[in-house]
C-alpha cells in the first residue's frame, strides 16, 4: 500500500479519531460508493468525506471510520447505506430551480401532452426534498386545470429515505417559497399556526397527487411506466462519465417516443450515444411520435 502523502497524513493527525480517514478506508468508501450508488468520489475528497462521516461516526457513538464501515456492512436493512449516501451527496434543491425548464414545460410540453387522449407519466428522478416534483405539479395544475390534471401520473423518486420523508410531509419554511407566485402560496399551501408559524405545508389534496418512492438509479427501473417526461437534474453530476452515459441510455429507453429528458444545465450529455435529440440546452427529446392511445393505468 502506498504511504499517505505528508499533507494528508498531517491533516489526518489533527482530526479526532472519529473522523480520521486512512487511505485504505477512503478507498473502501470510494469502492462502496461507486458500486452501490454510482458515486464518483474523486481523489482529493478525503477531507470532505472525513468531515461528513466523522459526524455520523460520533452520532452513532462509534470509535472511528473503519468501525463505521463495519456497521454499514452489518446493517441488512439498507438504512445506514442510505445515511451514508446522504452524508456523501448534497440534497440542495429549490422550487422552480432552473426556471427555463418550467417555461418549456408550460409552453411546449404540456400543450403537446394535453392534446393526447389519456394518461401520461412525468418522473422526477432524484427528487430530493420535493421542491422539484411539487413545482412540476403546480405548473401542470396551472396549465391543465381540473379535471384534465387527472391525466397526470407524477412519480418522484430518490435514493435517500430522509429526503423522501421530508418530501412526503410537504412542509417548507415560508422563505423557501419565494420563487413561487403569491397566488400559488394560497392555492397549494396551508399556512402553519402556533408552533408551526413560519411554515407552509402543501395541501393534502395536492400532496396525494405525487407518488413518492425510494429508488436507486443504479438499479433496474425498466418496470416503471413509460414516461412522457423525465426530470433528472443535478443528480448525474455525482456519477462518472461511463455511469452517466449508461443512465442516460436507460432513461432514453424509459421514454415513450416523442418524450422529453430534462437534465441539469451543468450536466452536458455531449459525446454520449443516447439516440435523443438535443432541442435546447439541457432539454432532450426522443425521436418519434407519442402513442395516440394509452391505457389510463
Ligand atoms: C442535488 S439533489 C437534486 C434535486 C433536484 N433534482 C434538483 O435539481 O433540484 C440530488 C439528489 O440525487 C439523489 N441521488 C444521488 N445518487 C442517487 C442514486 N444513485 N439514485 C437515486 N437518487 C440519487 C440524492 O439523494 C439527492 O437528493
pLDDT, tens only, 13-36: 454 555 567 888 889 889 988 988
Dist CA 96 CA 116 (whole Å):
25
Dist CA 70 CA 60 (whole Å):
13
Q: Is 52 a catalytic residue?
A: yes
Neighbours of 108 (CB within 10 A): 15
* Percentage of the chain modeled with pLDDT above 70: 91
CATH 3.40.50.150 maps onto the chain at 99-285
Which residue minimizes the CA distance to atom 26 of ligand 1? 91
Counting DSSP H helices and E strands in the chain, the numbers are: 12, 10
Structure confidence at residue 201 as a pLDDT band (50, 70, 90): very high
115-147 pLDDT, tens digit each: 887 899 999 999 999 999 999 999 999 999 999
Dist CA 129 CA 210 (whole Å):
13
| Cα of 3 from ligand 1 centre, angstroms | 35
Dist CA 265 CA 262 (whole Å):
9
Mutate which of 34, 35, 128 for ligand 1? The one with the most ligand atoms within 8 Å of its CB, which is: 128
CATH class of 6-88: mainly alpha
Q: Is 186 a catalytic residue?
A: no
Dist CA 97 CA 233 (whole Å):
10
User: What pLDDT shows up at residue 117?
Assistant: 78
Question: Which CATH superfamily groups domain 99-285?
Answer: Vaccinia Virus protein VP39 (3.40.50.150)
pTM of the entire predicted model: 0.90
CATH 1.10.155.10 maps onto the chain at 6-88
Q: Which of 82, 84, 42 is nearest to 65 (CA)?
A: 84
- H or E element that contains 167: helix 161-169
Dist CA 285 CA 259 (whole Å):
6
238-295 pLDDT, tens digit each: 899 999 999 999 999 999 999 999 999 999 888 899 999 999 999 999 999 877 654 4
The grid coordinates of residue 203 equal 395541501
Backbone angles phi, psi at 211, to 5 degrees: -95, 110
Dist CA 31 CA 98 (whole Å):
32
The grid coordinates of residue 283 equal 432539454
Amino acid at each position: 500500500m502506498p504511504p499517505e502523502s505528508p499533507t494528508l497524513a498531517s491533516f489526518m493527525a489533527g482530526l479526532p479519531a472519529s473522523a480520521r480517514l486512512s487511505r485504505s478506508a477512503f478507498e473502501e468508501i470510494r469502492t462502496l460508493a461507486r458500486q452501490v450508488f454510482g458515486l464518483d468520489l474523486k481523489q482529493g475528497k478525503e477531507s470532505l468525506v472525513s468531515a461528513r462521516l466523522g459526524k455520523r461516526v460520533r452520532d452513532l457513538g462509534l470509535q472511528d471510520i473503519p468501525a463505521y464501515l463495519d456497521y454499514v456492512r452489518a446493517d441488512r436493512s439498507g438504512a445506514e447505506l442510505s445515511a451514508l449516501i446522504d452524508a456523501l451527496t448534497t440534497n440542495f434543491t429549490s422550487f422552480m430551480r432552473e426556471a427555463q425548464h418550467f417555461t418549456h414545460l408550460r409552453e411546449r410540453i404540456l400543450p403537446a401532452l394535453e392534446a393526447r387522449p389519456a394518461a401520461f407519466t412525468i418522473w422526477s428522478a432524484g427528487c430530493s426534498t420535493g421542491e422539484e416534483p411539487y413545482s412540476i405539479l403546480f405548473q401542470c395544475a396551472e396549465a391543465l386545470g381540473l379535471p384534465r390534471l387527472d391525466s397526470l401520473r407524477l412519480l418522484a423518486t430518490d435514493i435517500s429515505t430522509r429526503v423522501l420523508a421530508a418530501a412526503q410531509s410537504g412542509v417548507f419554511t415560508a422563505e423557501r417559497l419565494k420563487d413561487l407566485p403569491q397566488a400559488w402560496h394560497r392555492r397549494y399551501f396551508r399556512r402553519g399556526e402556533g408552533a408551526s408559524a413560519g411554515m407552509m405545508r402543501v395541501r393534502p389534496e395536492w400532496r396525494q397527487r405525487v407518488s413518492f418512492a425510494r429508488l436507486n438509479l443504479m438499479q433496474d427501473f425498466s418496470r416503471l411506466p413509460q414516461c412522457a417526461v423525465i426530470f433528472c437534474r443535478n443528480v448525474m453530476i455525482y456519477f462518472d462519465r461511463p455511469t452517466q452515459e449508461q443512465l442516460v441510455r436507460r432513461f432514453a429507453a424509459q421514454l415513450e417516443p416523442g418524450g422529453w429528458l430534462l437534465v441539469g444545465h451543468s450536466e452536458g450529455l455531449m459525446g454520449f450515444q443516447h439516440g435523443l435529440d438535443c432541442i435546447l440546452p439541457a432539454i432532450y427529446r426522443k425521436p418519434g411520435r407519442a402513442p395516440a392511445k394509452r391505457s389510463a393505468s
